[in-house]
Amino acid sequence: MRKTFLFFALFLIAFSGRALALTWSEARAIAEQKSHDLIGAKKDLETSEWSYRKAISAFLPQLSASAGMTETENSTTSATSKSYSYGLSATQYLFRGTEGIYGIQSAQANVEYEQASLLATRASVLYDLRSAFIGLLYAQENVALSRKILEQREQNARLIQLRYESGKEDKGNLLTTQADEAQAKYDLSAARRDLKLARLKLSQLLQSDVVQVEVPGGLEAPAEPVFDGLMETTPTYRMARKQLEMAELSHKASISGFLPSLSLSGSYRKSGSDWPPDSANKSWSLNLSYSFFPGGSNIADRAIAGADLDLAREEFDQSVKDLRYSLEDNYQGFQDALQALELSKISLAASEERAKITNVKYLNGLTGYDEWYRIENAYIQAQKNSLTQKKSALLAEALWHKTYGGSVK
């Protein structure tokens, strides 16, 4: 019993430790299993695969069997008679226009469309998850930074209080540093509230309670791709291509309204007054049918399919242009964000060093309050800016991967 309790306690500790530092790979694995959008996309793919199998059935024979018993009673003589029958029948369509052939091709194109759609959905789901993950990471670090800034503002306020009491600073400078301290307290409270919301958002996406996330690895700029080649491998392009293909097949299939159909049918039947019946009847027939004027619906269907094809071509061309631009735009956005992050790090290091030097000068009376105050604020702003640029770079990375249908590993 004691060993069981110890094992359970260790399990809880281990589980809590994992919950407090959820890694990106763990979050991704959970989303792959629990995402409603991904589950729905997989079901759409499964449905399209069954629709493809159904389309093949147009080329297979239609078989049916029947059996029956009939009892007849004569109301005058009160005599009854019974008859029995059973039989088989088969029909095979030899030609039904081009609808069946293009129907199979269209069903196959729809399967490939849903496969690409699943990849696009996965990229979108993981992008949303990554954004929420980064949001919680930023909120965590913003709370830590806000706490650090508050400590710095409190120290500054105490310093100016002492200098004011000794007559070295005026009341305006004292009130300014006290106002900054109050602002820092508010910023920390707001950061904690933002942290709570960020936890809720990520927890809802994962359908699991998340307290804290682990800091991901460093950012690396990808090599510049060949955009035209990359574009044709994206799920978005493949979906647009398959939509155009299905419109082309639908237009080709619409010619079936002007073509005849040919079928071969056969049946075998036995009937009689005793069971099993022994009177056999066999038949077969070759049927040709041509609806030369179905009220003009075939003409209308052809015109509608042609208009839909023209529209699909226009939409495909526009989709290709939009996708091509988005690829290069988001790649450059990622590059810009990485450079901005590096610049913010350099500026932060410079601001930190200047703040150290100026603080020493101020304490030794070698510089005035205004200069000291300006550099202190610049250092605090540099810290905030560096954190913001880190968030922007991580989001730009996620958006770049989503654009071509991938995700951060």
For 295, phi then psi, to 5°, come to 80, 10
Local confidence band at 11 (pLDDT 50, 70, 90 cut-offs): very low
pLDDT tens figures, 126-141: 999 999 999 999 999 9
d(CA 357, CA 372): 10
Question: What is the average per-residue pLDDT within 394-398?
Answer: 96
Query: What pLDDT sits at residue 277?
Result: 85
Taking residues 315-335, what's their average pLDDT?
96
**Is residue 265 packed enough to be buried (19+ CB in 10 Å), middle (13-18) or exposed (0-12)?**
middle
Phi then psi for residue 162, to 5 deg, are -65, -40
CB-hemisphere CA count at 13 Å for 368? Answer: 4
Q: 62-73 and 80-96 as β-strands: parallel, antiparallel, unpaired? A: antiparallel
- pLDDT of residue 13 exceeding 60, the answer is no
Of the pLDDT bands very low, low, confident and very high (cuts 50, 70, 90), residue 28 is: very high
| Mean pLDDT over the full length of the chain | 90
Predicted pLDDT of residue 20: 52
Residue 1 has pLDDT above 80, yes or no: no
Q: Would you say residue 197 has pLDDT above 80? A: yes
CB 22 within 8 A of CB 213: yes
Residue of 236, 239, 233 lying closest to 114 (CA atoms): 239
ω into residue 61 within 30 of 0, thus cis? no
- The reported pLDDT for the residue numbered 75 is 65
Give the highest mean pLDDT range of 5-14, 34-43, 51-60, 294-303. Answer: 34-43
- Report how far residue 301's alpha carbon sits from residue 275's, in angstroms, rounded to the nearest whole number: 52
279-292 average pLDDT score: 85
pLDDT of residue 17 exceeding 60, the answer is no
CB atoms within 10 A of CB 97: 18
37, amino acid identity: D
Cβ neighbors of 270 (< 8 A, separation 6 or more) are 85, 86, 87, 276, 277, 278, 279, 280, 281
CB burial string 377-402: b at 16+ within 10 A, e below? ebbbebbbbbbebbbbbbbbbbbbbb
Tell whether the model's pLDDT for residue 218 goes beyond 60.
Answer: yes
What pLDDT score does 127 carry? 97
Q: Which of 157, 134, 197 is nearest to 396 (CA)?
A: 134
Using DSSP's 3-state secondary structure scheme, residue 406 falls into: coil
Domain map of the chain by residue range? 25-66+100-312
Give me the mean pLDDT over the 365-388 stretch.
96
Q: Within 13 Å and on the Cβ side, how many CA atoms surround 175?
A: 3
Residue 404 has pLDDT above 70, yes or no: yes
Q: How far apart are CA 62 and CA 271, in angstroms?
A: 22
Q: What is the arithmetic mean of pLDDT over 260-283?
A: 85
CA–CA distance, 151 with 139 (Å, rounded to integer): 18
pLDDT for res 78? 66
Tokens of residue 187, six digits: 């910023």
- Higher per-residue confidence, 262 vs 16: 262
Q: How many CA atoms lie within 13 Å of 366's alpha carbon, on the beta-carbon side?
A: 7
Q: Comparing 296 with 338, which gets the higher pLDDT?
A: 338
Q: Across-strand partners of 80?
A: 73
Distance CA 349, CA 233 (A): 42
**Residue with tokens 């008859």, as numbered in its chain:** 83
Q: Are strands 279-289 and 62-73 parallel, antiparallel or unpaired?
A: unpaired
- pLDDT at residue number 3: 43
Burial (Cβ within 10 Å: 0-12, 13-18, ≥19) of residue 239 = buried
Contact 82, 247 (CB under 8 A): no
Q: What is the CATH number of domain 25-66+100-312?
A: 1.20.1600.10
| This prediction's pTM | 0.84
Beta-carbon contacts of 273 under 8 Å, excluding residues fewer than 6 positions away, are 81, 82, 83, 84
Q: Is the pLDDT confidence value at 255 over 90?
A: no
Alpha carbon 41 to chain centroid, angstroms:
9
Q: Give tens-digit pLDDT for 287-305.
A: 888 877 788 888 898 899 9
